[in-house]
Amino acid sequence: MKELQFLYLVNCEKEGEGYWMLGITDNINPLQENKNFIECYRKELIGITAAKEILNAIETNIENLLNDCIQDGYKIEPPSEGISYDLPLHVIEEIYEFWFNLYQDKDIFLKVLALLLTRKKLDFSNPTISNGLKGFTARWVSEIENLHSYRPYSKKVTSPKEPMWLDSEI
């Protein structure tokens, strides 16, 4: 395996289904990696370790964001592979660039990544928690929350609540 790899963001289409794909390759043209790749939006030549760590952070961030959207009642259609087109390109690019640029200072990158992972278990948007954060942590939690702020314009799914007496057996 080569020491330098390309971290990329592409859009793809397979059997009429469109999706975004992130990955790592040693190919100078990521579009040659897969016949389903249509267009390359981001491509950065970096070390393999850095590429893996950045890719992990981006994928975790996107997973959190999609889970938040679903929890808020939005219907996100999961593609058979990759990332749903329900997440716009500009949102994915913002997340990509945030983590790529943050890696310039690996110490800060690792600390902010730890906050991202903590976010899976702790709701940073809770005022009790956010008001208790100060300094470095407060600054980066704010940045992380900003990366999780996107919500689709439509497709809000409201589940009809059935009356409680329908569940009871008499």
Bigger pLDDT: 5 or 155?
5
User: Quick one: pLDDT band at residue 166, thresholds 50, 70, 90?
Assistant: low
Is-above-0.95 flag for pTM?
no
Is the pLDDT at 168 greater than 60? The verdict is: no
170 within domain boundaries: no
Is the pLDDT at 105 greater than 60? The verdict is: yes
Q: How many domains does the chain have?
A: 1
169 within domain boundaries: no
- Judge contact between 48 and 24, C-beta under 8 A: yes
User: Quick one: pLDDT band at residue 148, thresholds 50, 70, 90?
Assistant: very high
For residues 126-133, average pLDDT: 82
Is the pLDDT at 97 greater than 80? The verdict is: yes
162 within domain boundaries: no
Which residue type does 157 have?
V
Here the tokens at position 100 are 């790529």
pLDDT for residue 6: 97
126 within domain boundaries: yes
Structural domain boundaries, residue 121: 4-155
64 within domain boundaries: yes
Bigger pLDDT: 83 or 127?
83
